[in-house]
Amino acid sequence: MIGLCLLIRRDLRLAFRGGTDAMMGVIFFVLAAILFPFGVGPDAAILPRIGGGIIWVVALLAALLSLERMFAGDHEDGSLDLLYLSPVSLGQLALAKAIAHWLTSGVLLLIASPVLALLYNLPSSAFLPLVATMALGTPTLSLVGAIGAALTLGARRGGVLLALLLLPLYIPVLIFDAGAIDGAIAGRDITPQLMILGGFLLAALALAPWATAAALRQAIE
């Protein structure tokens, strides 16, 4: 536990000092959300219709963005060797990295999303579902993303590969998120979608650190 906190604190500090591009996520999120109305045209009728989906897609892209360098810095400067030799297990390291990634991207997206909902004129009934899906969905993105980041560490064309690997894994999350928001706007009960998102999160929590650790072990050589 001490090791976990220590690792999270270090990553947060690095993100804050600009050592990593973790903060990139939110900025990207906000910028993209600002750009879409320009691209699509400020049609009052169409924005609320597509707003929920756009917010989610952008959140997903933002998560993808900062993932590539999740382990790359530590790999390049030899820190990963030392982390492996330390008393902290690779599973804990994976979990810590995912939590730090979520804190520097997911949480901020979570906080920013109501603002964007306002920007897009989403009906007020969509606010709570949006925040709820963000809260359940973004940690899954970080956890699953860690697997991809570890798998592609040191690979040729790592970035492209990462996107290729994660896209199919992210799509189910996206489908249920968007489904929940649409459902909420249409006045339907969205408990099933939220349950499924919660299930994804639990599954990711159980499996992702293990898979990430297995992938990291291969990357150290």
Whether 90 and 7 have beta carbons less than 8 Å apart is answered as no
Beta carbons within 10 angstroms of residue 208's beta carbon = 23
Contact flag: residue 187 with a second copy (CB under 8 A): no
Whether 197 and 137 have beta carbons less than 8 Å apart is answered as yes
Q: Which does 6 bind (CB under 5 to 8 A by kind): a second copy, other proteins, none?
A: other proteins
**Minimum distance from CB of 22 to a second copy (Å)?**
9
Joined tokens for residue 88: 């902290």
Closest alpha carbon to 113 in 68, 42, 62: 62
Q: Which of 8, 141, 178, 213 binds a second copy (CB under 8 A)?
A: 178
Torsion of CA 173, 35, 24, 144, to 10 degrees: 10
Question: Nearer to other proteins by C-beta: 123 or 172?
Answer: 172
Q: Which of 62, 116, 151, 180 binds other proteins (CB under 8 A)?
A: 151
Contact flag: residue 17 with a second copy (CB under 8 A): yes
| Burial (CB count <10 Å: 0-12, 13-18, 19+), residue 191 | exposed
Binding site residues, a second copy, CB under 8 A: 17-18, 21, 23-24, 27-28, 31-32, 34-36, 38-41, 46, 49-50, 52-54, 56-57, 60-61, 65, 68, 155-160, 163-164, 167, 170-171, 174-175, 177-178, 182
